[in-house]
Amino acid sequence: MQRLVFAFFFAVSLSLAPHASANQNDFERCRQVFANGEPPLIKKQDAQQLRALCFSAFAVLHSGQSRTPLYVAERLNRKTLQGAHEKRKDKFFADARLPRAERAELSDYKGSGYDRGHMAPAADMTTPESMAQSFSLANMVPQAPINNRNAWAGIEKSTRKYVMRATSDVYVISGPVFDGAPSTIGTNHVWVPTHLFKLVYDPSANKAWAHWIDNQDAAKVGKPISYTELVKRTGISFLPNFHGS
Domain ranges of the chain: 7-234
Q: What does pTM read for this prediction?
A: 0.90
- The rounded distance, in Å, linking the Cα atoms of 139 and 103 is 11
Please choose, from the candidates 73, 164, 92, the residue with its C-alpha nearest in 3D space to the C-alpha of residue 131: 92
- The rounded distance, in Å, linking the Cα atoms of 55 and 44 is 23
What value does the mean pLDDT take over residues 75-104?
A: 91
> pLDDT of 14-65, one tens digit each?
222 333 344 445 899 999 999 999 999 986 554 458 999 999 999 999 999 9
Output 20 or 155, whichever has higher pLDDT.
155
What value does the mean pLDDT take over residues 196-222?
A: 97
Output 193 or 42, whichever has higher pLDDT.
193
Chain Cα centroid distance, residue 11: 22
- Active-site positions read 118
Strands 50-54 and 58-63 turn out to be antiparallel
Tell me the fold of 7-234: Extracellular Endonuclease; Chain A (3.40.570)
Confidence of residue 85 (pLDDT cuts 50, 70, 90): confident
Average per-residue pLDDT for the chain:
88
Q: Which residues contact 213 (CB under 8 A, 6 or more apart)?
A: 147, 151, 152, 155, 195, 196, 197, 219, 221, 222
In contact, 158 and 124? CB cutoff 8 Å:
no
